[in-house]
Structure 1
């Protein structure tokens, strides 16, 4: 029965796809006069140029050639918008955020893999979850996490010291250890759980399963665009049966990974609840100060109307780990790459963090860490020029006009366009990279990595643009009701890891050329490597 319905869904999908291909020949598009590149394929459009590991130049050239709003073609020739105009972005993520929602493939796919959390809900359901979670991620709670962070980062320092010794002057792949440290930080400070990620003598089933997620998800990325139609059939139980009936190994691997992640999350959740009921939190990892413990207490004390069911609590766990683990690892790796290429900036930053550490008595608290001007400048500039996530997609749920701060020239060159008509079900791609590198906002040197710009008054154009980002007038952590809820956690982790490692090590470029894949999250790989696996081999020298 499930197979029959899968076949029926596929037939419907093919019919819909054919309609999208022939529709432009019969109905004039409201986007006909919006400039943009030609599609490279009749049925793939520009899909493989936009969602391409090596798509950096294509993304940058779109703005230079066509303006702040560009027409691109998605799968089956569907016309889509690629947006970096600040006023348009404000409407997408703030003013009209409930019109421009996450796509079904994003919501349903994340729900299937991670459970019902912030990454897989929208509308009132998302607002209810966010209402419960916002206080948990408050600045007051973030301050209390530094004592959990410190010993983990010291452990990372010790592990890297041993790796440098074993390398005997050869390059050290620091990506592996940055990733493990990020996972352990999220584990202990986020969940009150240790993954033993920095201990090679121990293994943890959650971290081992998590390693399988990214390859599995990448293998079905294109398929996830079609999965939407299958996941709208019947009840959740029946939809599960439909997906299980798909005779394709990558899909089955993703199901296995999803089941394992949710099973272990439930175990962690049950352990936390039991400890809370016994009043035994002081003897648990995190000592009751981790994010999950705080969330459980808040949920217990909430009104019946606001309280989240337990499956939505541990649904947050998987989503939080996935959202925070890769992006933070990417950001730390990017900073260290840049510092290895700019020794003068590395030396200046080392001097700043070493002096601040000494003033703090040898160990950072929240205030001493977050108020180092040059460390803040380096982090802000890296997150601006090299956001780990370069673009995100929304879909319009009704016909609407999208106003622009700066008019664009029409495709025929005859008029200026200050509002773009957006039809229902049009995909809108928000270019985080394009918005962050906008020369009208940041000046002619917008694409240059210059930490010193943050030590001076920023151009007036930065304030006048009113970029809707939640962090430092940029879109790296997004804005509005779906802004990154854990951006302070990520900033704190980024700064503490850098301050600790620079005190102990000197970083220089390794012997192999590194290329940064764009992907869902940017990551470094050895250029022309057959595996395409994230690696960052650098020359690392001990200073102490």
Structure 2
């Protein structure tokens, strides 16, 4: 009974607080889709749509790149794919638009308080500690390892074909490949995923998200929408909820951090004479440092490793799967890539390429960029404003009053959806064929002059997951 009273009080107080917030902004006057539900707004239809992005693509076409959608409990959410707005939110005023409580705590429940969960000054400290492991020079040292892993995979596929296998799961094989590569490069740890050695952590990765959060229940969607109003110490207890999704992530976190702890002990004994800058060495050194600016505590170190294990392999595997899918649909582009690679091998006399060689493969790189554009790993980012602010727009929109507006006033606490997938398909940015596969767009230098500076690679938002 007491729990029910507390929840009711939270709902009532959050409702009063939201009405106060809403009165101070202009988001409520924007046009947007009708709400199918008073309590859930548009959130259930977004989470249950057949193909990710289909609803958002349609809404951008109807209402413009900036619009409002219905949040839970009668709230309004600002949704934008506008380049100028995204530049302001993600870069100009980046740390003033942090991840909302739901995203931050959900990340912590899965991976701990690593770089994907922390924000502000703590996030800056984590970045400073980890930067040495991600310099261009350090990343180049991983290339031979990645090449060996790729050669192992291609040999596996050749073996499958030789024994008569006509159909196999490319996505599953690529996930095994990237997991092995990250284990070797970052932690000097053998997952044995390509050989299917039955590693417990490798097995834990399989279908981790599809078994847990693919179709969330209505109660969980409503519950998470209240997390912004729950004190952090109480919110941290959500990790221990007994439902399926929370139990599955809790198991992964416990397992991954347990393995990470064993690896750290092994690394510490050999670190005194080493100057290695691999991820684990950098993290262990920071853990031993007396300089608070360069120090991560044990919990933070374990969380970083869990984050890299989870976020680093599935993203790459999924992107590569989509690339192969599009090349199978466009055999002429597949032929161009093959010819470009063969020409480079003939010109250099090398079978295994250097980083410079790979950068010289212009059409191959264009196909990679086009894949990232059409199939972003994260279709939407969730942010909130930590102050009253004014967000500028490059494309003015017409509001419900019939007025044309070129900026949106947002109050502190305003929920914002960064629409990455719709931005990646805006005709004003990518051309009239933005919904179609066309790698040649990235060979057109004149296209860059028309774009607002956003992503670190080809002006794409696909991997712009944190306000770096």
Q: Common fold, TM-score beyond 0.5?
A: yes
Partner Cα separation in structure 2 for residue 38 and residue 95 of structure 1:
32
Q: Which of 332, 356, 373 is 1:384 aligned to?
A: 373
Is the CA contact (8 Å cut-off) linking 1:179 and 1:329 kept in structure 2? yes
Q: Is the 8 A contact 1:109 1:224 kept in 2?
A: no
Q: Hey, what does 2:260 align to over in structure 1? A: 265
Q: In structure 2, which of residues 181, 189, 196 is the aligned counterpart of residue 193 of structure 1?
A: 189
Give the Cα separation in 2 of the matches to 1:218 and 1:427.
Answer: 22
| 1:276 aligned partner | 271
CA distance in 1, matches of 2:438, 2:294: 45
Q: Pick one of 27, 35, 42 that aligns with 2:38.
A: 42
Cα RMSD of the aligned pairs, angstroms, is 2.9
Counterparts of 1:354-373 in structure 2, within 5 Å, are 354-358=342-346, 359=348, 361-373=350-362
Q: Deviations over 1:451-507 (max 9, x none)?
A: 122223232xx434323211111211217x634xxxxxxxxxxxxxxxxxxxxxxxx
Greater CA deviation, 432-441 or 267-276? 267-276
Note if contact 2:73-2:222 (Cα within 8 Å) is conserved in structure 1: no
Could you tell me which residue of structure 1 aligns to residue 101 of structure 2? 104
For residues 298-357 of structure 1, give each alpha carbon's deviation from its aligned partner in whole angstroms, at most 9, with x where no partner exists. 665683432222321221111122222221111100010000011111011111123334
Gaps of 5+ in 1: 282-287, 484-544
1:82 aligns with 2:94: no
Cα distance, 1:6 vs structure 2: 5.1
Question: Which digits, 9 at most, give the CA deviation of each residue in 1:71-127, with x for residues without a partner?
Answer: 111112210111111111111011111221101111112112211211110010011
1:513 equivalent in structure 2: none
Contact conserved, 1:145 with 1:290, CA < 8 A, in 2? no
- Distance in 2, Cα, partners of 1:89 & 1:136: 28
Residue 473 (str. 1) matches residue 468 (str. 2): no
Q: How far, CA to CA, are the matches of 1:58 and 1:224 in structure 2? A: 18
Match of 1:184 among 180, 187, 190: 180
Task: Figure out how many residues of one structure are paired with residues of the other and give that number.
Answer: 463
Query: Which of 190, 212, 218 is the equivalent residue of 1:216?
Result: 212
Q: How far did 1:433 drift?
A: 1.4
Q: Give the match's secondary structure for 1:213.
A: coil
Structure 2: runs of 5 or more not aligned: none
Aligned equivalents of 1:270, 1:19: Cα separation in 2: 51
| Displacement of 1:18 | 6.0
**Cα distance in 1, alignment partners of residues 14 and 3 from structure 2:** 16
Number of the residue aligned with 1:542:
none
The correspondence for 2:467, drawn from 482, 491, 512, is: 482
SS of equivalent residue, structure 2 residue 350? coil
Task: Name the counterpart of 1:136.
Answer: 133
Q: Does the 8 Å CA contact 2:133/2:278 hold for their aligned counterparts? A: no
CA distance in 1, matches of 2:434, 2:344: 30
Of 302, 319, 328 in structure 2, the residue corresponding to residue 331 of structure 1 is: 319
| Kept after mapping to 1: 8 A contact 2:256/2:306 | yes
CA 1:83 to 1:347, structure 2 compared with 1: closer, same or farther past 3 Å?
Answer: same
Cα distance per residue 1:240-274 (max 9 Å; x no partner): 66753x44344333323322222222222222223
Which residue is equivalent to 1:253? 248
Give how far 1:212 is off. 5.7
Tell me how far 1:62 sits from its aligned partner: 1.5
1:403 to 370, 373, 392: 392
CA 185–80 in structure 1, closer or farther in 2 if over 3 Å, else same: same
Q: Secondary structure of the equivalent of 1:387?
A: coil
State the shift of 1:56 in Å.
Answer: 2.9
TM-score (norm 1): 0.78
Alpha-carbon distance change, 411 to 259 in structure 1, aligned in 2, over 3 angstroms? same
Is contact 2:109–2:239 with CA below 8 Å preserved after alignment?
no
Partner of 2:120: 123
Q: How does 1:48-63 map to 2 (within 5 A)?
A: 48-54=44-50, 55-63=52-60
1:426 matched to 2:423: no
Asked if the contact 1:380–1:451 (Cα under 8 Å) also holds between the matched residues in 2, the reply is yes
| 1:394/1:221 CA distance change after superposition, 3 Å | farther
